Each structure stands twice: as C-alpha cells, then as structure tokens.
C-alpha cells in the first residue's frame, strides 16, 4: 500500500538556520503531497501542498517540490524562527479514492532555539 | 471560534467500558473524517462521511467501533468494550468537499484506557 517515510527527529536548530526535513513516498498512482504542521496544543494545520510532479508548494517561507523521479517532497526553509518549533507531518492522498484519505509519515519534531 | 470542535479533550476509562466522542465540524463542511494517532506515529485514517453517509471505513475500525453523523452535522465515534490498545488521540477533520481541498483538524480527544 501507499506509505510515507520522513526523517526522525527531533531536529534541533538555532534561529536563522537553514531547515531541511526529508520526506519520501511510495504510491501506486499519482498522489497529491502535503505538509501538515502541529503546534503544541493545537490541531494539525495544512502548511503547503503540491498536486503534480514538479509543482512547488510554498507558505510562510517554507517550500517543498514534488519530485516524481526521486519520489520525494522535502520541506525546506531558509531561516527558521523560534515560532516554527512544532511537529511536521508529510502526507499523501490518492485522488483515486475521491476524497482526502491521507497517509501520513510519523512526523518530525523541530526545536528552534534563540 | 469557528474551527472544528472535539469533546472531550481527554478521556480516561477502564478497560471494558464504552466511550463516545463528539466532533462538531465547521458549519457547511459536508465532508467529515476521523483519524487516530498513537504516540510517535502519524495519524491513520479511520472513516469518512459525506453529509450523513458513511462512505469509507478503514480495516482499523473493528466491530467495536461505530461512527455516526446524523443529519450531516456533528459526528460521534463510539468505542465499545475498550481495550488498552485503543489508547490514542482521536482526530476529527472536516472539509468543504472538493478534491485536494484542505482538511481542517480539531485538537483531538486523547483516550487513555487503564
């Protein structure tokens, strides 16, 4: 079945450092790809998405590019802030189901220190 | 607050007891989802409603689990004869009903089975 693998955390960075969180996927079809973020005490929030190969999703300084050849969707940010500390989940959705049946990775905790 | 609301936030129960959780989606969202998240894992899909119709159930949803969405508004998830393995965060999400639309997640109900 479909699956998502993301790097284990925690990822610990200093403020203004460059961030990369790796995500690779396995899917039989042509899924849409997502990054969701979970801040402490809050529900999951969509951070960005890409629906087809070579699409780049971006939001709040975060970017990720849908790479079909490497089946990857790595999350990057050029300069992290303390407020970016959260758990980040990579996910895919198979459009063939007709609804958002998301398959999530295990999550990567990001800790940013001042 | 017009987000997805879940009640209760926490539930502690003894093994063998029945529990029921409630989810109030964003009004006019016709799609509603339940996911389950265990410690250190990403959320896993449980079930999906379009209006009042339950259209998809995961194999994770054993016979002890039942979900309803009467009148296509709020939803309930009941677990009968709880087991320790049911301990998890139960997440509800809603969406307006388009492919690739954003899911809006609630903060979840944390279930602990003693």
Section B64-72 average pLDDT? 93
**CA-based nearest residue in chain B for residue A109:** B40
Structure tokens at B64: 């002890």
Q: What is the pLDDT of residue A94?
A: 80
Say how far apart CA B113 and CA B107 lie, in whole Å.
19
Say how far apart CA A9 and CA B92 lie, in whole Å.
25
Report the gap between the CA of A3 and the closest CA in chain B (Å).
11
- A100/B31 CB distance under 8 A: yes
The pLDDT confidence band at residue B40, using thresholds 50, 70 and 90, is confident
Q: What is the pLDDT of residue B99?
A: 65
The greatest distance separating any two alpha carbons of chain A, rounded to the nearest whole angstrom, comes to 44
Phi and psi for A83 in degrees, rounded to 5?
-70, -10
Q: What is the pLDDT of residue A28?
A: 85
Q: What is the pLDDT of residue B16?
A: 97
Which chain A residues have a beta carbon less than 8 Å from that of B101?
Answer: 100
- Please write the tens of the pLDDT for every residue from A64-77: 999 999 999 999 99
The pLDDT confidence band at residue B97, using thresholds 50, 70 and 90, is confident
Which stretch of A79-83, A91-95, B82-86, B89-93 has the lowest confidence by average pLDDT?
A: A91-95
% of chain A at pLDDT higher than 70 = 99
- Please write the tens of the pLDDT for every residue from A12-34: 999 999 999 999 999 988 899 99
Which of B40, B42, B45 has the CB atom closest to A89's CB atom? B42
Neighbouring residues of B1: CB distance < 8 A, sequence distance ≥ 6: none
Beta strands in B9-52 (DSSP E): 10-13, 19-24, 31-37, 44-50
Section A106-113 average pLDDT? 97
Q: What is the pLDDT of residue B100?
A: 62
């Amino acid at each position: 079945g479909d699956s998502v693998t993301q790097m284990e955390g925690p990822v610990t960075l200093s403020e203004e450092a460059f961030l990369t969180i790796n995500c690779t996927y396995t899917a039989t079809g042509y899924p849409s790809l997502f990054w969701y973020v979970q801040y402490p005490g809050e529900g999951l929030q969509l951070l960005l998405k890409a629906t087809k190969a070579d699409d780049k999703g971006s939001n709040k300084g975060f970017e990720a590019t849908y790479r079909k050849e490497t089946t990857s969707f790595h999350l990057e940010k050029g300069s992290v802030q303390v407020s970016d500390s959260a758990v980040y989940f990579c996910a895919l959705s198979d459009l063939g189901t007709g609804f958002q049946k998301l398959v999530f990775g295990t999550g990567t905790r990001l800790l940013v220190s001042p | 607050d017009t987000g997805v609301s879940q009640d209760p936030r926490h539930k502690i129960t003894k093994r063998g007891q029945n529990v029921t959780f409630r989810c109030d989606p964003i009004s006019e969202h016709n799609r509603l989802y339940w996911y389950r998240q265990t410690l250190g894992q990403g959320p896993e899909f449980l079930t999906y409603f379009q209006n009042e119709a339950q259209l998809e159930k995961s194999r994770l949803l054993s016979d002890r689990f039942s979900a309803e969405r009467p009148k296509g508004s709020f939803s309930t998830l009941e677990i009968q004869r709880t087991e320790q393995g049911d301990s998890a965060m139960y997440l509800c999400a809603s969406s307006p009903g388009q492919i690739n639309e954003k899911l809006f997640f609630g903060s979840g109900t944390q279930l602990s089975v003693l």
